[in-house]
Amino acid sequence: MKKQFFVLLALLLALPSAFAQQYFIADKLFTYMHAGPNNTYRIIGSVNAGDKVTFISNNNGTGYTQIQDSRGRKGWVESKFVSQQESMAVRLPRIESELATVKTELEKARNTADQEQAGLISSLEARNTQIAEMEQNYSEISQKLTAAQTEVRNLTAKLDTQKEDLLLKYFMYGGGVAGGGLLLGLILPHVLPRRKKSPNGWA
């Protein structure tokens, strides 16, 4: 029975430690740890800013909190120096490290963006150059096409004129031949002597 009582007592004593929350000493170079819940008690040591401590109890009347430090010492410190948040002395290096990481990533992102922007600008300039060349080629082709169309119209007009001249020549030649034949037909009977008819009726 006594053995069970001592086991139960040991569990009850260990229970607060098992459920104890982690606290930290707030930002100050260090604070004294007293043997009792006010500064009239003797100083049993000190804890530095940022040290992790275990909360034991709180005395609202005196404004002191009982803690246990990482070395196992139990004592009282002013409650205003006990916080559930890590001290800036602990958080600041981590924040600075995170800030440096973010700055590095930001710089990489900026460099990547600059490279992509430079690539886009270069690509845009190349496209503009190609468009300018295509416009120049189109202008030259348009001019050549206009000149070719003009030449075709001139040649067509010249060909039509030559056809008309040829037809006129053919007409005049045909008319001359017909006129000459008619004239020859009229002249020849008078020029050529007539044959006398034979007594038999044959010429």
* pLDDT of amino acid 8: 47
* pLDDT of amino acid 191: 67
* pLDDT of amino acid 62: 93
Average pLDDT for runs of 10 along the chain of length 203: 47 48 63 88 88 90 92 91 74 80 89 88 88 89 89 86 80 74 72 60 52
* pLDDT of amino acid 29: 65
* pLDDT of amino acid 30: 76
* pLDDT of amino acid 192: 65
What predicted TM-score, i.e. pTM, was given to this entire model? 0.37
In the 3-class helix/strand/coil scheme, how is the chain assigned residue by residue?
CHHHHHHHHHHHHHHHHHCCCEEEECCCCEEEEECCCCCCCCEEEEEECCCEEEEEEEECCCCEEEEECCCCCEEEEEHHHEECCCCHHHHHHHHHHHHHHHHHHHHHHHHHHHHHHHHHHHHHHHHHHHHHHHHHHHHHHHHHHHHHHHHHHHHHHHHHHHHHHHHHHHHHHHHHHHHHHHHHHHHHHHHCCCCCCCCCCCC
Q: Which two tokens stand for residue 155?
A: 């040649």
* pLDDT of amino acid 42: 93
* pLDDT of amino acid 196: 56
